[in-house]
Structure 1
């Protein structure tokens, strides 16, 4: 249980770093777009695979979120990452903005469903 708690704290710290990078003026637009999706997914109560599905329901949280963080950090120049690690940022907006995350994930789902239906019919 202690390892899971440490893992969760590490993920939260990485998401806080992503938030700093997202708000940085020199972050490339494509990195901001991907980081915005990762942060929205992390804040959203809606998962790609519902948690009530045994094993798979929690695997998306254990796999997709760390993978999204990893890819996000690879999209950003190292100097921006280092600069953001030194910044002191107020995270109250980040931690309390679950509504925005939910809206973004719902919009992504609507767009995906629309594209699938458009190609089927």
Structure 2
């Protein structure tokens, strides 16, 4: 069972990389591009919806949210864009290049989470 879970986790990681390259592709329609950015940002975010230290729900959010959000995006993606992005992800993994990252993206993700926290706080304490 653990080997199967590792394989499944690698599959999710690979799909996230494919979505990263789909997001960078200029042929990707804008709504799909925004969905890709949202999912990739969530996947790479150091902050989860439910923190991982909470035993069961903390791990289940990544196991459920990511696959449930990746699948519809792949269905909306033009086939040629997905195929090109898949090839780019394969080349990327083959060269063992450093994972994409950006300090600007980290700041944006943390800012979004802080804004959401403030909005939730204001909504709950009215």
TM-score, normalised with respect to structure 2: 0.77
Query: Contact between 1:44 and 1:99, CA under 8 Å: does it hold in 2?
Result: no
Partners of 1:96 and 1:59 in 2: CA distance: 25
Partners of 1:50 and 1:98 in 2: CA distance: 22
Residues 104 and 83 of structure 1: CA distance in aligned 2, closer, same or farther (over 3 Å): same
Query: Contact between 1:22 and 1:35, CA under 8 Å: does it hold in 2?
Result: yes
Unaligned runs of 5+ residues in structure 1 are none
State the partner residue of 1:64: 65
**What aligned pairs does 1:1-121 form with structure 2 within 5 A after superposition?**
1-87=2-88, 90=92, 92=97, 95-97=99-101, 99-116=103-120, 117=122
> Offset of 1:83 from its aligned partner?
2.7
Partners of 2:55 and 2:14 in 1: CA distance: 28
Partners of 1:66 and 1:32 in 2: CA distance: 17
Unaligned runs of 5+ residues in structure 2 are none
Alignment RMSD, CA only? 2.6
TM-score, normalised with respect to structure 1: 0.80
Paired residues in the alignment total: 120
Which structure has more relative contact order (CA 8 Å, sep 6+)? It is 1
